[in-house]
Structure 1
Amino acid sequence: MSIQSIQSSSPTYTVRAGGLPKLCQILIIGAGPAGSAAAKVLAQAGLDVLLIDQQPQGRDKICGDGLIPDSHAALARLGLLDQVMARAEPVAHVGCIGPRGGRVDVPGHLAVLPRKILDDILCQGAQDAGAKFLAPARFEAPLLDAGQRVIGATLKVGDELREVRADWVILATGAVPKALTAAGLCERHTPSGVALRGYVRAPSMVGRIKAMDVVWSKAVRPGYGWIFPAPDGCFNIGVGVTDSHKAVGGKGAKKELNLRKIFDAFIEHYPPAAQLMREGELLGELKGAPLRCTLSGAQWSRPGMLVTGEAAGSTYSFTGEGIGKAMETGILAADALLAGRAKGSSDEQIRGSYEQSLTALKPKFDLYERANQVNAHPWLIDLLIWRANKSERLVKRMSGVLNETSNPGNLLSLKGFKRLFFEG
């Protein structure tokens, strides 16, 4: 596998200023999982959808590339699961590895697919449903009417500023806060966490690393490391740190953090990672990116505009998983607009419906945020692994959390960890 082999297989769309539509029903800013999912649902329902992005179709994204069960559910809803799975690397377990080397494999419906390919499939799926896709085009500011309702956006296309009017605008611009700030919806400019990842081609390691391994140790504290098997003899390897920008000793102070040093420590202290880097070939450079987690840090809407995906904080704290929830929030935004259109609902009612659907997800996100104590105190993972290796029932509970069929509060909480001493 080469770097080129994980590039987009679809054509690149370049927009000339004269070709940009001046009107549409729905303008979606950002063609990642959230924006493309919303675009597909809305276009499939017959709406005139314009989807734009700063980058060409199939843009890269710093990510672990893991597709956990919520991703499978969202892809099935979009009618794209079979297409994605035809190119993904199927995986049967998440491997949880503790500081003392203990391990438990948690079963689940899992897969790994580089984001270049996944995002290309999602964006193309939206176009196949009837959405127009234009790139590169950058969101500069919302267009407002006299009552301050969003009625479109000013976009930068090449060297020109162009205006597009729309009934609704969906902002799906990811973790970087610039677009949120321009839209007047950013409540926190600092990220919730940061991650660093690279791709390594290592055919000799195929079959040796079979699970989506997540590794906790003192060496990577307060974060975690991962190695996920990708298609074609490649592996996604990286480290992540949540709560990376929490105030320390004063407002806005940042924790002392060097992701490259954490990555190097991961390689040094986890033998499979060292072997992977020794036997394999690093494809390109290691790349880092911010994370926005816990459905916090931004307002979810304003009149005429909905915020979705990682811009709304759709990534899970503790694990950094976010692909499935990004798609889910994009679908929820589309569903709110379609239901409101069918009922003749007001702007306020549509926004209320959407925000209510996100509020229903919030308790689960909050539990994952509280589980961050595990990253700061990795000995808790040792306890969990020790008990899980003595209890099939506990492994089933862990699988239930992964598959979202059981309450994570029964496991990812202080109360849950206390129960481990009494688990049968």
Structure 2
Amino acid sequence: MTEQEARPASAKPPVLEALPDRCEVLIVGAGPAGSACARVLAQAGVDVLLIDQQPQGRDKICGDGLIPDAHQALQRLGLLEPVMRLAQQVSHVGCIGPRGGRIDVPGTLAVLPRRQLDQLLSQAAREAGAQFIAPARFEKPLEDEQGRVVGALLKVGSGATTALVEVQSQWLILATGAVPKALSAAGMCERHTPSGIALRGYVRAPSMVGRIKAMDVVWSQAVRPGYGWIFPAPDNCFNIGVGVTDSHSAVGGKGAKKELNLRAIFDAFVASYEPAALLMREGELVGELKGAPLRCTLEGARWSRPGLMVTGEAAGSTYSFTGEGIGKAMETGMLAADALLAGRQQGWGEGQVREAFEQSLRALKPKFDLYQRANRVNAFPWLADLLIWRAQRSPRLLQRMSGVLNETSNPGNLVSLKGFSRLFLE
């Protein structure tokens, strides 16, 4: 007899039995932003409900790279050591230009598939005291007579056991990623189209282990206006993909997709970059190539409204130019938690909590704008050639490039007029 047959017809399915009808903070989305926010709040004794429309260990289209900002966020969460035990640690980012020039930029780096990382993060939130419910999908916010968000309508369960359930909360946090459906339902979406798009797959290739050792990022005419990458991952696997930022242009106030075919760009990357061709010939594709949107530059969504805050990629926490977003997603999630905890401790009103959160995002915004300036390398790959050629001859420039990884150097200056003039003086 199955569990469903054994359960009385009037009984609720377990996922509905476990769902509370109210909580202090309801977090929608158990990716890096949502789970980081949940862990920080739960550790402080806040009553947190974390939901996701997929079970723990969901897949996410991503390069899986953990650059220094991700290491710092994981350190604060107390999770750096367990993540590093699972991850493939890497010592350099390999920058490869259209003419084949290469420079290896040192950094504190690692690669861990998002399925594993997200499972570890959501489990850590649960261990801190957050309640986790899945599958549960956000439908719309609940509002009081003044329009303040006071909870959410959720679609909980799957198949015949699906039910619409209202959950009351003092605060609602949207950490729903790049797909804008939840943002639109909550009245927070300002840009429905993505900032960029990416396509990636996993290849198991034991023969390539040790031959591709860095997190290789490749610029060439073949993948213009984007870039290709190959990152060594655990278990004899490699993450290979292509990304295009600025994939949609504004037409009549709405984003229109440019003439792009990601699969064709991926095929061109493999054909034009010999290590990628070798990887695909000698390895075995694990699963399918998958595509996903990106939301960048802390733009495209309102950051808050009464009773609600937006974090992670939903708020645009991915860097244009590099497409990295895991560290900043966790950071924005923790900033939301910090604002809520400060409000608790200081007796702030709601407006003060929201202002503290938005002020912390405004403090990050100039950094995102600098990465947007550096994004011109993707449109003009010859700039990568010039930077690589000069960095091969200038330890100071290589140090500055490493500083971009560590967020101690200005990435926009590398491709500014002033930056180019310095290339020949260093």
What is the TM-score normalised by the length of structure 1?
A: 0.95
Q: In the TM superposition, what is the alpha-carbon distance from 1:83 to its structure 2 partner?
A: 0.2
Separation of aligned partners in 2, 1:29 and 1:117: 19
- With over 3 angstroms needed to count, the CA separation of the structure-2 counterparts of 1:165 and 1:51, relative to structure 1, is same
**Alignment correspondent of 1:371:** 374
**Alignment correspondent of 2:10:** none
After superposition, residues 70-81 of structure 1 pair within 5 angstroms as 70-81=69-80
Residues 83-103 of structure 1 show CA distances to partners (whole Å, capped at 9, x for unaligned) of 000000000000000000000
Match of 1:353 among 352, 356, 364: 356
Q: In the TM superposition, what is the alpha-carbon distance from 1:307 to its structure 2 partner?
A: 0.2
Task: Provide the identity percentage.
Answer: 78
> In the alignment, is residue 195 of structure 1 matched against residue 198 of structure 2?
yes
**Alignment correspondent of 1:61:** 60
Separation of aligned partners in 1, 2:289 and 2:29: 24
Which range moved further: 308-317 or 248-257? 248-257
- With over 3 angstroms needed to count, the CA separation of the structure-2 counterparts of 1:249 and 1:164, relative to structure 1, is closer
> In the alignment, is residue 128 of structure 1 matched against residue 127 of structure 2?
yes
SS of corresponding position for 1:16: helix
Separation of aligned partners in 1, 2:91 and 2:198: 24
| Two-structure CA RMSD over aligned residues (Å) | 1.2
Q: In the TM superposition, what is the alpha-carbon distance from 1:345 to its structure 2 partner?
A: 0.5
Residues 171-192 of structure 1 show CA distances to partners (whole Å, capped at 9, x for unaligned) of 0000000000000000000000
Separation of aligned partners in 2, 1:101 and 1:303: 52
Gaps of 5+ in 2: 1-12
**Alignment correspondent of 1:17:** 16
Deviating above 6 A after TM superposition, structure 1's stretches of 4 or more consecutive aligned residues are none
**Alignment correspondent of 1:386:** 389
Separation of aligned partners in 1, 2:244 and 2:415: 18
> In the alignment, is residue 307 of structure 1 matched against residue 306 of structure 2?
no
**Alignment correspondent of 1:161:** 164
> In the alignment, is residue 221 of structure 1 matched against residue 238 of structure 2?
no
> In the alignment, is residue 104 of structure 1 matched against residue 100 of structure 2?
no
Separation of aligned partners in 1, 2:138 and 2:186: 9
**Aligned 8 A contact 2:56 2:118 in 1:** yes
**Aligned 8 A contact 2:297 2:368 in 1:** yes
Residues 144-197 of structure 1 show CA distances to partners (whole Å, capped at 9, x for unaligned) of 011111111000013211010111111000000000000000000000000000
SS of corresponding position for 2:248: coil
> In the alignment, is residue 287 of structure 1 matched against residue 293 of structure 2?
no
**Aligned 8 A contact 2:370 2:410 in 1:** no
**Aligned 8 A contact 2:15 2:133 in 1:** no
**Aligned 8 A contact 1:97 1:213 in 2:** yes
What is the TM-score normalised by the length of structure 2?
A: 0.94
Separation of aligned partners in 1, 2:257 and 2:120: 37
Residues 314-362 of structure 1 show CA distances to partners (whole Å, capped at 9, x for unaligned) of 0000110000000000000000000011001011100000000000000
Which range moved further: 157-166 or 14-23? 14-23
Which range moved further: 404-413 or 96-105? 404-413
Which range moved further: 110-119 or 14-23? 14-23
- With over 3 angstroms needed to count, the CA separation of the structure-2 counterparts of 1:223 and 1:282, relative to structure 1, is same
**Aligned 8 A contact 1:140 1:182 in 2:** yes
Separation of aligned partners in 1, 2:22 and 2:417: 52
Separation of aligned partners in 1, 2:298 and 2:67: 19
Separation of aligned partners in 1, 2:220 and 2:410: 26
Match of 1:322 among 322, 325, 342: 325
SS of corresponding position for 2:244: strand
Separation of aligned partners in 2, 1:295 and 1:123: 24
Separation of aligned partners in 2, 1:34 and 1:391: 38
**Aligned 8 A contact 1:247 1:255 in 2:** no
Separation of aligned partners in 1, 2:418 and 2:307: 42
**Alignment correspondent of 1:332:** 335
Gaps of 5+ in 1: 1-13
**Alignment correspondent of 2:84:** 85
Separation of aligned partners in 2, 1:72 and 1:215: 24
Separation of aligned partners in 2, 1:252 and 1:30: 25
> In the alignment, is residue 234 of structure 1 matched against residue 237 of structure 2?
yes
> In the alignment, is residue 206 of structure 1 matched against residue 205 of structure 2?
no
